[in-house]
Amino acid sequence: MKETPTLVKTLKLHQVVFMGLAWMTPMIYFTVYGVAFDAAGGMLAAAYVTAFIAIFFTAYSYSQMVKAYPISGSAYIYAKKAVHPIAGYLVGWALLLDYIFSPIIAILTFGIFMNTEFPSIPVFVWIILMNVVLAIVNIVGIKSAARVSGLSVLFQIAFIILFCILVVKDILTGQTDSHSILSLAPFFNDHVSIDGVLSGAALICFCFLGFDAVTTMAEETINAKKTIPKAIYLIVIIAVIMYLSISYLSEIAFPNFTFTNPDNAAYRLVQLVGGNLLSSLFIMVLIVATFTQGVSSVTSVSRFLFALGRESILPKKLFTTIHPKYKTPVSNILFVSVISLSAVFINLDSAVLFVSFGALTAFTFVNLSVVFHYYIRQKRRSPKETFLYLIFPLIGASFIGWLLTLLDKTTLFIGLIWVAVGFVYLVVKSKWEVAKGRKYSISKVKQIVD
């Protein structure tokens, strides 16, 4: 009998955390700074606290579900096992938008930054080069990807710490508009707009995406039931500390900071803090950060496709092929690299919106999966368990579901069309696999995805 393809457990806690932070890309704070600043009415610190609260509920739900199902597949597996096979399939299909477009965003952003530094070389050249390098790094092995991600994350965190130190120095030496380093103004003042803070929080939830991606590496993680939950919490906490520190100090130091172009607002802020030397370092760090985000996102999507292939949602023979030497899903990595070439044509804003639709849809169902698995199926209903497995995840599902409705109508429309296409694919696939002439029923679909 032919053995089922399996992945090798090699990842430790620090490696998983670095992979998640690399996928998240701490420097993304600066990438969305201008747009987020406008959306939040300048109250970025308050908006990041609000976003953290929303994400924390979902992080909790992921940590609970990975204990129940420590296998690759993430939200798809959780919704399938806990809610219903068809629900799981549709969540997985929606999540494909998140995972497939994530490397596209990294590759396109890398191309844009490199073209800025070297205008004579077209963006598409950098995109092709990036694709080739990402494929090689991921094929060689998950541990090599973790090493690259670890170095990049340390580089990014070092820059953020340097930025914060310089801001603190300016405040203490009286070189800014503020002479006090302790103030509640970034959170409470006469100009606070609750609607603005909530709008900003809805947008910057995107900055936290990455903690969820580490669940796709459960089968390559040592003692995944303990390691992955710890990694999820560490990633979210590290991220909010970094984002909140930058926001708080910047708002204290430059309460009257303004800009005309949101796309380069962060560059202007960095120049204000450290001049041309810091701004040059800023560009270099951003380029490195986008490269390693691409490494981590290709790793995640290739494992997600592996899970879908093993479940026969996608062609099993193609999507479960493991390299005999490096033990990595080589065909998936090559498939993602080919798809990512669309970065030559696609718009960055559109890619970000597709990622948001897929991620927020998945987050909603992961919260609901906790309710179905623990509260409904396992009947864990003591007062404490009712809070942990019913009330807490329902708050998370409601919060994230509300954020999903805040996406623009075009994105929601295209996202729903994508889900509808997935359902049609499921129906066609089921009819193909059911014996010819037999009546199709929804139970047959359930058998195929179960």
CA 53 to chain centre: 16
Look up the CATH number of the domain holding residue 85. Answer: 1.20.1740.10
Is residue 443 situated within a structural domain? no
Range from 164-173, 300-309, 407-416 carrying the lowest mean pLDDT: 300-309
Give residue 438's pLDDT: 43
Question: What pLDDT band is residue 436 in, cutting at 50, 70 and 90?
Answer: very low
> Residue 210: its pLDDT value, please?
74
Buried b (16+ CB within 10 A) or exposed e, 152-167: bbebbeebbebbbebb
pLDDT of residue 449: 44
Q: How far is CA 6 from the centre of its chain?
A: 25
Helices 142-172 and 13-24 pack at an angle, to 10 degrees, of 70
Token representation of residue 103 = 């490397």
Mean pLDDT of 304-328: 79
Going from the C-alpha of 159 to that of each of 26, 121, 145, 260, the distances in angstroms are 10, 27, 21, 25
pLDDT value at 442 more than 60:
no
Predicted pLDDT at 48: 92
Most confidently modeled range among 185-189, 294-298, 350-354, 422-426:
422-426
Reported residue count of the chain is 450
Most confident of 3-12, 149-158, 395-404: 395-404
Residue 143 has a pLDDT of 63
In a domain, 426, yes or no: no
Task: Indicate whether 355 belongs to any domain.
Answer: yes
Q: Check: CB of residue 127 under 8 Å from CB of residue 285.
A: no
Integer angstrom CA distances of residue 405 from 364, 402, 446: 12, 5, 29
- 240: confidence class by pLDDT, cuts 50, 70, 90: very high
Q: Which domain holds residue 345?
A: 13-407
Angle at which helices 85-117 and 409-433 cross, to 10°: 130
Check whether 310 has a pLDDT greater than 90.
no
200-222: burial string, b at 16+ Cβ within 10 Å, e else: bbbbbbbbbbbbbbbbbbbbbbe
Mean pLDDT of 25-47: 85
Q: What is the mean pLDDT of residues 161-177?
A: 86
Per-position b or e across 111-136, b if 16+ CB within 10 A of its CB: bbbbbeeeeeeebeebbbebbeebbe
What's the whole-model pTM score? 0.77
pLDDT, position 291: 80
Residue 207 and residue 241: Cα distance in Å, rounded? 13
Smallest Cα–Cα separation from 91: which of 445, 428, 423, 450? 423
Taking residues 304-322, what's their average pLDDT? 79
209 part of a folded domain: yes
pLDDT at residue 432 tops 70:
no
Residue 412 lies in a domain: no
Q: What is the average pLDDT across 249-264?
A: 82
> Helix or strand or coil: residue 11?
strand
What value does the mean pLDDT of the chain take?
Answer: 81
CA 8 → CA 70, 143, 328, distances in Å? 14, 11, 9
Q: Which of 243-247, 363-367, 434-438 has the lowest mean pLDDT?
A: 434-438
Which residues 6+ apart lie within 8 Å of 170 measured at CB? 176, 253, 273
Mention every residue, 6+ apart, whose C-beta is less than 8 A from residue 22: 148, 149, 150, 152, 153, 210, 292, 293, 295, 296
Number of structural domains found in the chain: 1
340 or 318, higher pLDDT: 340
Identify whether the C-beta of residue 43 lies closer than 8 Å to the C-beta of residue 218: no
Query: Which is more confidently placed, 57 or 137?
Result: 57
Region 229-237: what's the mean pLDDT?
Answer: 91
Tokens coding 349: 């804003």
Q: What is the pLDDT of residues 376-417, one digit of tens each?
A: 999 999 999 999 999 999 999 998 888 888 777 888 888 899
Which of the four pLDDT bands, split at 50, 70 and 90, describes residue 439? very low
In a domain, 266, yes or no: yes
Q: Give the bridge partners for 11, in sequence order.
A: 221
pLDDT at residue 147, as a whole number: 66
Is 152 part of any domain?
yes
pLDDT digits 0-9 by tens, 111-124: 877 777 788 888 88
User: What average pLDDT does the segment 182-209 reach?
Assistant: 76
| Bigger pLDDT: 139 vs 248 | 248
pLDDT on residue 215? 76
Instruction: State yes or no: pLDDT of 448 exceeds 60.
Output: no
**Crossing angle between the packed helical segments 265-310 and 123-140, to the nearest 10 degrees:** 50
Largest CA distance in the chain: 82
Q: How far is Cα 297 from Cα 105, in angstroms, rounded to an integer?
A: 10
- Residue 258 belongs to some domain of the structure: yes
